[in-house]
């Protein structure tokens, strides 16, 4: 069967595709940071709760208290890239979602359970058995991550889509994709690293506010980061080698931008590792965000390259509707300003009552 015949038609977009690409990458980077902090934080909270050398009830409690916020922002920041990816890649994302519909929809229930479980872990932390809830949360997050990896790879593997004709029940997973497992592990391990870094960042902020010195906790967080990043090196190589040869070549000299990004990513990783070893939280954070942004760009290049035989975003027809973009930008800026305003209000002390 000619796979190209299966590719659904796309619809016109209201502004140049570059806008959507920009918003997609920007919001995905933000989402990824929250998602990594959420999953990594959950894993660290779980590890710190169980009987092992990782046991650290204070860390578990603090992480557990933050986790519901992080989940909320992960979900919220996930909505935007999900929206923009639908606009740019609707023929692919909708198709792959339908092929694995059962798993894809079950994700909603799992996310809800993980979310409430995290709240219960926070509210019942001091009661016996609370570890069960963080365990449930983390396990479900890991499953959700796996399903996302499946969908994101399935959407760029149209040659796998013909399996639908033998299985239209929505239970297709992309196990045939060689990069599935290393890609998934790459994200999970990266989450652990970011989770550790996040611990350190939170402690730094608290110390600045309270004047305490949480050096040990910060070092502990950075250890998680560096350890996980070190593991990431072989996993990253596995992931890279699992990619099709033409994709690898794209990052190894054949494509200038790809090669620059790849090299920059490696440099960013090394620099973030070095910052991690030296417990330089701010520098490490900066290098890590930069590296993640580079990785997201590389990921985007891989996606476009793999579906290039069937579709390019530049082929999307534009039916101009810039006024709606202006509305969005206005709402976005006003929203950000009001968020800043609210955060300022939040710390107007109660003592000022009546003043």
Partner 1 sequence: MNYPVWELYSTGGGLLMVIIAVVHVYVAHFAVGGGLFLVLTEMKGYRENSSDILDFTKKHSRFFMLLSVVFGSVTGVGIWFIISLISPDATSTLTHHFVFIWAAEWVCFGCEIIAIFVYYYRFGKMNRKAHLKIGWLYFLFAWLSLFFVNGIIAFMLTPGEWPETGNMWDGFFNPTMLPSLFFRTALSLVLAGIFGFVTAVFIKKTEFRETMIRYCAKWLILPFVFMMIFAFWYFKALPDAPRAMVMGRSPELIPVVKIFMWFLPLLFIGSLAMAIRMPGSVKKPAAFVILAIGLVYMGAFEWIREASRRPYLIYGHTWSNSIRVWEEEYLNKNGLLQTAKWIKNREIKDDNMLEAGREIFKIECISCHSVGGPLNDILPLTSRYSILGMDSQLNGQGKINDYMPQFMGTSEERMTLARFIVQGLHGKKDTKASADMQNLPVKIPMENPVKIPEFDEEKSEYVLLAWSDSGMYTIPDSKQFHGMGPEGNNLFAQLIRRGETPEIVTEDVELTYKDSGQKKLQNLQITYDKTLNGTMELNQDLMAFAAESIPVRPYKDDGSFNPYPVFTIEARSKTDGKILGKTRVVAPVSTEMGCNNCHGGKWRAKGSGGISDQTSNDILTVHDRISRTNLLDMAQKGRSIDCSSCHSDSISGAEGQSERLNLSASIHGFHANYLTEKDGDACHLCHPSSPDGNTRFFRGIHKSLDMDCINCHGKMEDLALSLLVAEKQAGKKSADRLMKYLSPQAVQNIDQVSPRKPWINEPDCLNCHVDFQPPETDESEINMWTKNREQLFHMRTGEAGIMCQACHGSSHAVYPTANFLDKDRDNIQPMQYQKNQYPIGANKNCKVCHTIDMEEEIHHPNMLNMFRNSEL
Q: Interface residues for partner 1 in 1-60 (CB under 8 A)?
A: 5-14, 20, 23
Query: Is position 159 an interface residue for partner 1 (rule: CB under 8 A)?
Result: no
Find the angle CA(216)-CA(222)-CA(227) to the nearest 5 degrees.
Answer: 125
- By beta-carbon proximity to partner 1, the closer residue of 252 and 332 is 332
- As measured in angstroms, the least distance from the Cβ of 34 to partner 1 is 11
- As measured in angstroms, the least distance from the Cβ of 143 to partner 1 is 15
Find the largest Cα–Cα distance for the chain. 76
- As measured in angstroms, the least distance from the Cβ of 194 to partner 1 is 20
Window 113-142: residues binding partner 1 (CB under 8 A):
115-116, 119
- By beta-carbon proximity to partner 1, the closer residue of 244 and 309 is 309
Query: Is position 151 an interface residue for partner 1 (rule: CB under 8 A)?
Result: no
Question: What gap in Å lies between CA 29 and CA 289, rounded to an integer?
Answer: 8
- As measured in angstroms, the least distance from the Cβ of 188 to partner 1 is 21
Window 296-335: residues binding partner 1 (CB under 8 A):
319, 321, 323-325, 327-328, 331-332, 335
Question: What gap in Å lies between CA 135 and CA 113, rounded to an integer?
Answer: 12
- Give burial (CB, 10 Å; 0-12/13-18/19+) of 60: buried
Structure tokens at 354: 């009546």
- As measured in angstroms, the least distance from the Cβ of 174 to partner 1 is 15
Q: Which stretch binds partner 1 (CB under 8 A): 227-235, 272-280, 296-304, 337-345?
A: 337-345
CA atoms within 13 A on the CB side of 266: 11
Query: Is position 97 an interface residue for partner 1 (rule: CB under 8 A)?
Result: yes
Instruction: Give me the sign of the Cα torsion angle 77, 83, 86, 88.
Output: negative
Question: What gap in Å lies between CA 21 and CA 215, rounded to an integer?
Answer: 40
């Amino acid at each position: 069967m000619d796979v190209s015949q299966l590719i659904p038609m796309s619809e016109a977009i209201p502004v140049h595709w570059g806008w959507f690409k920009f918003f997609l990458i920007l919001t995905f980077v933000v989402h990824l940071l929250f998602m990594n902090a959420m999953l990594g934080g959950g894993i660290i909270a779980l590890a710190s709760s169980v009987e092992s050398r990782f046991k650290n009830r204070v860390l578990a409690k603090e992480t557990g208290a933050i986790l519901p916020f992080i989940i909320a922002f992960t979900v919220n920041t996930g909505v935007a890239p999900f929206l923009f990816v639908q606009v740019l890649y609707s023929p692919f994302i909708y198709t792959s979602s339908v092929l694995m519909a059962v798993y894809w929809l079950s994700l909603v229930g799992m996310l809800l359970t993980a979310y409430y479980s995290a709240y219960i872990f926070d509210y019942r932390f001091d009661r016996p058995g609370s570890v069960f809830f963080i365990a449930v949360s983390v396990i479900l997050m890991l499953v959700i991550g796996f399903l996302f990896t499946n969908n994101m790879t399935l959407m760029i593997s149209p040659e796998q889509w013909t399996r639908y004709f033998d299985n239209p029940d929505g239970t297709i997973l992309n196990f045939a994709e060689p990069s599935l497992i290393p890609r998934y592990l790459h994200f999970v391990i990266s989450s652990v690293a970011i989770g550790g870094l996040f611990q350190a960042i939170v402690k730094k902020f608290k110390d600045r506010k309270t004047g305490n010195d949480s050096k040990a906790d910060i070092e502990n967080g950075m250890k998680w980061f560096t350890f996980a990043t070190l593991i990431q090196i072989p996993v990253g190589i596995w992931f890279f080698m699992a990619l099709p040869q033409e994709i690898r070549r794209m990052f190894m000299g054949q494509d200038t931008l790809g090669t620059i990004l790849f090299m920059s990513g490696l440099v960013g990783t090394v620099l973030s590792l070095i910052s991690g070893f030296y417990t330089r939280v701010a520098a490490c954070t900066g290098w890590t965000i930069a590296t993640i942004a580079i990785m997201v760009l590389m990921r985007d290049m891989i996606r476009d390259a793999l579906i290039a035989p069937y579709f390019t975003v530049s082929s999307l027809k534009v039916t101009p509707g810039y006024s709606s973009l202006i509305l969005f930008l206005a709402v976005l800026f006003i929203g950000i300003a009001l968020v800043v305003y609210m955060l300022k209000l939040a710390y107007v002390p109660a003592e000022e009552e009546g003043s």
